[in-house]
């Protein structure tokens, strides 16, 4: 099984553990890496709820921040329900594919922009996994309605708007995108 398939399957399994009764209005993908090393990426899959957004409303600077900023997300949205990519099988699939793409480098090598290319590739994988959650009907089946997947990279906060827009049907992210830089 390829790396993309591993991430899609595991993200689908995580979403399958969510409860429709929790008032989930967004699935969250926190894109990160072990020790800030792009050779060891992972995505923490979580969610945020209507009740938590209501709690945050008085603490945030505005309603958008309370609802859509990862700084206002509950622990499940920040830390993730489960991290995808840190388990040995997925990490091994990532390395094999990175090597086949000519993106892997060792500690004593110069990355020569391969680090940036690894980040771009992992972004593509995460966007693809989020799309798969929509296209396969997984989110709809588990939650009983379609909700957006909000993707944010802990090291590139500005990327969240493009990643989220690419990963979701436009109507699901219209409110989120109101704060996107123009």
Asked if residue 20 is part of any domain, the answer here is yes
Nearest to 131 by CA among 92, 178, 99, 163: 163
Give the Cα separation of 137 and 147 in Å (integer): 11
Residue 79: per-residue pLDDT: 86
Averaged pLDDT, groups of 10, the chain, 182 residues long: 93 96 95 94 96 92 93 88 87 95 94 95 98 98 97 92 98 96 81
**131 within some domain:** yes
In a domain, 182, yes or no: no
Total domains in the fold of the chain: 1
Give a yes or no: residue 120 inside a domain.
yes
HSE of 149, CA atoms in CB hemisphere, 13 A: 30
Q: Is residue 132 domain-resident?
A: yes
Domain assignment of residue 51, yes or no:
yes
pLDDT digits (tens, 9 = 90+) for 113-161: 999 999 999 999 999 999 999 999 999 999 999 999 999 998 898 899 9
Predicted local distance difference test score (pLDDT) of residue 87: 85
Range of the domain at 73: 3-177
In a domain, residue 83? The reply is yes
3-state helix, strand, coil split of the chain in percent (to 5) is: 55, 15, 30
């Amino acid at each position: 099984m390829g790396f993309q398939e591993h991430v899609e399957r595991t993200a689908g399994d995580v979403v399958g553990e969510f409860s429709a009764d929790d008032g989930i209005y967004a699935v969250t993908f926190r894109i990160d890496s072990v020790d800030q090393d792009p050779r060891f990426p992972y995505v923490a899959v979580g969610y945020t709820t209507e009740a938590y957004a209501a709690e945050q409303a008085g603490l945030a600077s505005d309603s958008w921040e309370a609802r859509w900023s990862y700084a206002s997300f509950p622990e499940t949205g920040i830390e993730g329900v489960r991290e995808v990519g840190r388990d040995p099988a997925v990490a091994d699939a990532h390395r094999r594919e990175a090597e086949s793409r000519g993106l892997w480098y060792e500690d004593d090598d110069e990355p020569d922009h391969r680090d940036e290319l690894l980040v771009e590739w992992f972004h593509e994988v995460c966007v693809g996994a989020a799309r798969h959650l929509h296209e396969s009907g997984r989110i709809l089946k588990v939650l009983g309605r379609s909700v957006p997947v909000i993707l944010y990279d802990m090291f590139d906060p500005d990327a969240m708007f493009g990643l989220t827009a690419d990963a979701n049907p436009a109507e699901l992210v219209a409110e989120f995108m109101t704060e996107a830089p123009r």
